[in-house]
Structure 1
Amino acid sequence: MNPEPKSKHSELPLVAVITGDIINSQAIKSEIDWNSELQRLLSDFGNSPKDWQVYRGDSFQLVCYQPENALRIALKLKAGLKQHKELDVRMAIGIGSIEHHREQVLQSSGEAFVNSGRKFDSLKKQTLALKSPWQEFDESINLLINLALLTIDNWPETSAEVVLARLEHPEATQKDIAALLSIPQSRVSERLSRAGYGPIMDAEEYYRERIKERLSL
Structure 2
Amino acid sequence: MNNQAGHFEKELPQVAVITGDIVNSQQSEQSLEWLSVLKDYLSRYGGSPKDWQVYRGDSFQLIVYQPEDAFRVALHLKAVIKRLKDLDVRMAIGVGTLEHHADQVLQSNGEAFVYSGRKFDSLKKQTLAVKTPWQDVDKAINLLIKLALLTIDDWPETSADVVAASLEHPQATQKEIAALLSIPQSRVSERLSRAGFDAIKDVERYYREAILKRL
Distance in 1, matches of 2:209 and 2:52, equals 25
Structure 1 counterpart of 2:135, which letter? Q
Structure 2 partner of 1:59? 59
> How far off is 1:32 after superposition?
5.7
Q: CA deviation at 1:10?
A: 3.5
Paired letter, 2:95: I
CA distance in 2, matches of 1:72, 1:87: 19
Structure 1 or 2: more helix by fraction = 2
The separation in 2 between residues aligned to 1:61 and 1:146, in whole angstroms, is 22
What is aligned with 2:79?
A: 79
TM-score (norm 1): 0.93
Partner of 1:141: 141
Q: Could you tell me which residue of structure 2 aligns to residue 173 of structure 1? A: 173
Q: What is aligned with 1:42?
A: 42
Q: 1:165 to 1:17 in 2, by over 3 A?
A: same
- Identity score, percent: 71
Mapped partners of 1:42, 1:80: distance in 2: 11
Q: Secondary structure at the match of 2:10?
A: coil
Shift of 1:31: 6.5
Cα distance between partner residues in 2 of 1:146 and 1:211: 18
Tell me the CA shift for residue 12 of structure 1: 1.1
Residue identity in the other structure for 1:172: A
In the TM superposition, what are the counterparts of 1:10-49 in structure 2 within 5 Å?
10-30=10-30, 33-49=33-49
Mapping 1:54-203, distance limit 5 Å:
54-203=54-203
SS in 1 for 2:26: helix
Q: CA deviation at 1:24?
A: 2.1
Partner of 1:211 in structure 2?
211
Judge conservation of contact 2:15–2:97 (CA < 8 Å) in 1.
yes
1:45 deviation in Å? 1.6
Gaps of 5+ in 2: 1-8
| Cα distance, 1:73 vs structure 2 | 0.2
Partner-residue secondary structure (3-state), 2:54? strand
Helix, strand or coil for the counterpart of 1:21?
A: strand
What amino acid is aligned across from residue 49 of structure 1 in structure 2? P
Q: Counterparts of 1:33 and 1:168 in 2: how far apart (Å)?
A: 20
3-state SS of 1:49 partner: coil
Once superposed, what is the RMSD of the aligned Cα atoms? 1.1
Question: Residues of 1 paired with 2:122 and 2:30: CA distance?
Answer: 29
- For residues 13 and 119 of structure 2, the distance between their equivalents in structure 1, rounded to whole angstroms, comes to 21
Unaligned runs of 5+ in 1: 1-8
1:197 maps to amino acid = F
Shift of 1:174: 0.8
TM-score by length of 2: 0.94
> 1:48 deviation in Å?
1.1
Range that drifts further, 88-97 or 22-31: 22-31
